[in-house]
A and B are shown apart, each in its own frame.
Chain A
């Protein structure tokens, strides 16, 4: 798999165990009076205030009020469930930055091949693109330093920098001509989508939904693939493996691209009468193209919404392994006076067939493993293995059936992607239509 540019702040987000949905809240909606009529709570608040005061006065060293309160909030919110928490003002800023995915650099996506950098994609109108760098070019030297012997991360680090700073690159064109270029770094926006043509089919990898321009990038990627296949796209793979989720809005928009109206998901809060339904817009992008979605135990929340919607609606076949199982929506509530933000679980969501994903995940139509059979199902970190996670009323057995899992044979070359291989295979099989039909009939039963 290719390596891509990642902004530092983005990395911080991506290593978080929990996937996040961000849905901005309107702070004015909150009625502060709610808890004041509760004497017990008021009494406990008083207790909190007196402990706070006692610490300020008596701790062995000077204390910082802000640190004390932030630690209190963090601990209280973390105790609710694994996805609720408090973000300090600086964390909150980092999160907002990650959504935009902006950094100072050249605007290319690269991988390391045979010791030199290969350009997989030059972001349109980015500094590299304007200087004439195109997909397929190789970079042999950055800032006067040869790439050979460097890791990809080191090489990428050399390309990043303050906007306005020029950098000298030596480019090898596909026809083996060498070009020396001076590229001025700019603030560029990275993509959360990678695309390529794989054995005559379209392949898109969505890395995260925590990107406010994801849907636009995805449409561009699909257009570029269709163009590359001279207008004939026989099938599409959407790879959501390891996708930890992101913005709820983006998951609805992405699902909507492939659905002609109808429900994508519904979300319910504490008051059961408050059901929020999200619908796809009329018209779809690729009405006659078969779609296979690949998921694994690392596919969570927004990724599960897309997989669940397209599976339930009979629009795509899902292959891979049971997904993470995060069926809750978090709201990020910015606090006044730049005091950071709180992120709390406000809703559970349900796929179009009314199923909750919480603690269960999406079960693929075809279970395909990535590595060969060891004789048993390995335990993986999923929502239900997190301490204190929200429970699901539906506790019927939802385990992968070992006998149904397709494993690569022992002599399968492990550098080849077996799940992708099976996904492409499925696009041209009759089994694809059978699965679609049976999924649609399940939906009409409900």
Chain B
């Protein structure tokens, strides 16, 4: 399996290589570059020996070599890096979408651990933990000031074990709760019916993305009994995830044909990925919502649907990450793993997304024109990013698409992008735009 990554936090991985195939490679440097490579490795060993001998205090060689591996990877591009054993474990957890814990989303709030929301059906929800509660002790130990990741580690553990949580609510009320850890499945797809239209949101592409999507669609079909008049697929802020899941999700809306192709350094690495025959919602008008935070796997879905004219892309220009990383565990993950950029990917029309992103068919902003926005970083802004491959394409040099802004005073909570998407789906604009898109 391959992975499409993004720069955002908390992203997920699965591996293309197994540890055994990786270890075999270490012996076989090819002939003509052998000497140079060996000389460089020799240099590295030499420096390490000198540092061990002469540094002012004793050296932790494991850590030092970990830093060296990381430095080497990070010099390549912003998405290649070393993953230490602990991070690697977390990565596996977020990939599977499963962990053993209490079932709440938490955030760090000025040194306190604050509950964003308990997840339905989990021990946290059943025990009555509420949004806005502060967790101040775990098993009678204060966690005030503890880094969030360490606090989360304390809450996770073997299923069946009990954990004592002390929470503070409404300033002074202190509540002690005994919870039993359970396997928690994180939902990444949510759906609802809005103004007679189907709405599905995918928050990330972990290994459950397609399965959860198909469950959501069959539920929507049941609940809406009659024909679904239109579907909005919300990929805003979705930072990406697994390549194969992005292909499966695209495939849900395409009846065969190409979804994406990838190219590595060697021609033999090039791959075309096609949709399966048959689609989940044949003939149902489709709008995909994207924004600056939609990256990699999200961009593959949006790019495929746009290029294949299966639906309209609405919102703001996406992040622009057009590269695929492969996760290679080191010694089965015991020594962590490396994340290495191995491929670029291309939409069905042959376009690279790298540094450019997907330009929506209809540009709609969520804030009124001229509003101050938090500066959204895009792939092209990252230091040492992979270069944009080709000249500006026909699409980009075409007349600039006007941006549809909400009127002054429009509330962010009212979600102008979603509101306009629903209007588009219900009007002639949908078909007109779809037919006129190049």
Report which A residues bind B (CB closer than 8 A). 25, 30-32, 34-35, 38, 40-41, 44-63, 65-69, 71-80, 84, 86, 269-270, 328, 331, 333, 335-337, 339, 342, 344-348, 390
Contacts and interface: CB of A to CB of B under 8 A. Distances in A.
B224 interface: no
B373 interface: no
Contact of A346 (B26, B44, B56): B56
B72 interface: yes
Contacts of B65: 44-45, 47-48, 76
Instruction: Tell me the dominant secondary structure on chain B's binding face.
Output: helix
Interface string B37-70: 1011101111111111111111101111101111
Interface residues of B, number: 60
Q: Which 4 A-B pairs have the closest CB atoms?
A: A75-B71, A71-B75, A50-B26, A76-B68
Given A51-B330, A270-B55, 16 more contacts: A34-B49, A44-B61, A54-B22, A59-B80, A59-B342, A60-B341, A73-B68, A75-B70, A75-B71, A75-B72, A76-B65, A77-B51, A328-B56, A335-B46, A344-B54, A346-B56
Contacts of B23: 50
Nearest to B26: A50
B414 interface: no
B44 A72 contact: yes
A59 B269 CA distance: 11
Nearest to B63: A79
B25 A71 contact: no
A335 B330 CA distance: 30
A280 to B, nearest CB: 25
B340 A342 contact: no
B73 interface: yes
Contacts, number: 186
A63 B76 contact: yes
Given A59-B265, A75-B67, A35 B61 contact: yes
Contacts of A71: 71-72, 74-75
B56 A348 contact: yes
Given A59-B265, A270-B58, A344-B50, A53 B45 contact: no
B347 interface: no
Nearest to A336: B46
Nearest to A70: B75
Given A50-B26, A76-B64, A346-B56, A55 B73 contact: yes
A54 B55 contact: no
Contact of A52 (B41, B52, B63, B343): B41
Given A60-B342, A67-B75, A41 B61 contact: yes
A32 B52 CA distance: 9
B64 A58 contact: no
A369 B403 CA distance: 55
24 contacts: A35-B52, A38-B61, A44-B65, A48-B65, A48-B68, A50-B25, A51-B69, A54-B25, A54-B328, A55-B340, A65-B33, A69-B40, A69-B41, A71-B72, A73-B47, A76-B47, A76-B51, A76-B68, A79-B64, A79-B67, A80-B55, A270-B56, A333-B54, A347-B56
Contact of B29 (A53, A67, A344, A346): A53
A61 B59 CA distance: 34
Contacts of A75: 67-68, 70-72, 74
A59 B326 CA distance: 10
B312 to A, nearest CB: 32
Nearest to A61: B265
Contacts of A32: 46, 49
A49 B26 CA distance: 7
Contacts of A347: 56
Contacts of A53: 25-26, 28-29, 37
Nearest to A44: B65
B254 interface: no
A222 to B, nearest CB: 35
Interface string B234-267: 0000000000000000000000000000001100
B301 to A, nearest CB: 22
Contacts of B58: 270
A48 B49 contact: no
Nearest to A347: B56
Contact of B49 (A30, A269, A331): A30
B51 A342 contact: yes
Contacts of B57: 270, 390
A346 to B, nearest CB: 5
B195 interface: no
A337 B36 CA distance: 12
A293 B70 CA distance: 44
A75 B63 CA distance: 11
A77 B52 CA distance: 11
Nearest to A390: B56
Nearest to A345: B56
B50 A30 contact: yes
B331 interface: yes
Contact of B342 (A48, A52, A58): A58
B340 A54 contact: yes
A47 B37 contact: no
B296 to A, nearest CB: 14
